[in-house]
Amino acid sequence: MKALTVKPHVKDSIQMRDVPDPARRNPEVKVRVIRAGLCGTDADIYEGNYGEPPPGDDFLILGHENFGVVEEAGQNDAGLKPGDFVVSTVRRPCSKCLNCQHGEMDFCSSGEYTERGIKGRHGFMAEYYVESPQYLIKIPPELQDIAVLLEPTSIVEKGIDHAYLIQRRITWQPQMALVMGAGPVGLLAAALLAARGLRTFVASLEAATDPRAEAAQSLGAQYLCLKDISLTDLPKQIGAPDLVIEATGKSSVVFAAMQMLAPNGVLCLLSVTGGSAIRPEPTDVINQDLVLRNSVVFGSVNAHPRHFKKGVEDFESIEKARPGALQKLLTTRLPWEEYGKWFGQKRSGIKTTLEISR
């Protein structure tokens, strides 16, 4: 079969090559890939910043955002059968640490987890893959056009879930949420928060006429252009948010967000800050505010299978309330042979997918 591969830590080594078809063993499931989403992680691996091949291979099949259809399936506890649409989760446990032993591979403490298309396991930018049914999420047919968004949605689902779990410490009824950044993760966060009934704002640099701003509004959020209002003035205009989701990857925004929170507020960090910049920040003021307001700041990465399943539930409710709104996030569909139009190029739009089969 054909697959899109890189040599990890070698910049611009991407190529489409022939690799052996994966062999299925019971109770594994063989999946034909329909499409794969592209994101900043794929770009970083392409740039040679990280990525790790499976043991015994000198290449890595890219791709962790995925959607496909079952081709072969033996008897399995999940009840999967040929023709079922599925999305695979990404992380696999180390089986050594306490968290992984309890099914919490997203909290692996040994660092020896593997991730499909990223670390130690081949990914989904291939014609087929084989997977254990426990890691596959069944997708209703009516969600097939947006299901490739499920993996990034699971990241947001985990962040929101854990914000509420943390806030079991008190009686907490958040009214307003602020999302920093209007990329795919930020817009998906806006969709989920608005669906939960929170008054939701998205703040980013794009103009109010940009497709990202229009997508935010179609998902039930209000959009704020940060070229028209400074970060420090945001709370003066909208009030202090109970929950902030940071999805910009800029440390300056992270520290600004710490100073916006309402009393008992929560800041969830979902983006990875690149670089090694050293910045002057009002650390005494930030520390005082966090303590006196009982604030929480936490980071979140990867997701548990239950967050994928929650994403399916939320997709169904959002599609019912706002038909076609999530579809607007999928702005570019490339035949996967044209991968070179995305990797190493200046990119536009919101979310690009590689169309691998039908």
pLDDT score, position 272:
84
What pairing do the DSSP bridges indicate for beta strands 330-335 and 351-355?
A: parallel
Which of 155, 169, 125, 174 has its CA nearest to residue 334? 125
What tokens appear for 180 in the block? 């920093």
Handedness of CA 13, 18, 23, 27 (dihedral sign): positive
Torsion of CA 122, 30, 100, 66, to 10 degrees: 60
CA separation for the pair 230, 103 (Å, rounded): 43
pLDDT score, position 66:
98
Question: pTM of the prediction?
Answer: 0.96
pLDDT score, position 273:
79
Map residue 95 onto helix, strand or coil: coil
CA separation for the pair 31, 51 (Å, rounded): 23
**Contact (Cβ atoms closer than 8 angstroms) between residue 139 and residue 319:** no
Q: pLDDT (tens digit, 0 to 9) for every residue of the chain, 358 residues total? A: 999 999 999 999 999 999 999 999 999 999 999 999 999 999 999 999 999 999 999 999 999 999 999 999 988 988 999 999 999 999 999 999 999 999 999 999 999 999 999 999 999 999 999 999 999 999 999 999 999 999 999 999 999 999 999 999 999 999 999 999 999 999 999 999 999 999 999 999 999 999 999 999 999 999 999 998 988 899 999 999 999 999 998 999 999 999 999 999 999 999 987 777 788 888 999 999 999 999 999 999 999 999 999 999 999 999 999 999 999 999 999 999 999 999 999 988 999 999 999 8
CA separation for the pair 334, 352 (Å, rounded): 7
For the domain bounded by 2-139+327-355, which CATH number is listed?
3.90.180.10
CA separation for the pair 61, 53 (Å, rounded): 8
pLDDT score, position 78:
87
Place of tokens 């959020």: 221
Other CB atoms within 10 A of residue 240 CB: 17
What tokens appear for 323 in the block? 């038909």
Please state the domain extents for the chain.
2-139+327-355, 154-299
Q: Does domain 154-299 have CATH number 3.30.70.980?
A: no
CA separation for the pair 256, 242 (Å, rounded): 15
**Contact (Cβ atoms closer than 8 angstroms) between residue 136 and residue 78:** yes
Which of 21, 125, 16 has its CA nearest to residue 72? 21
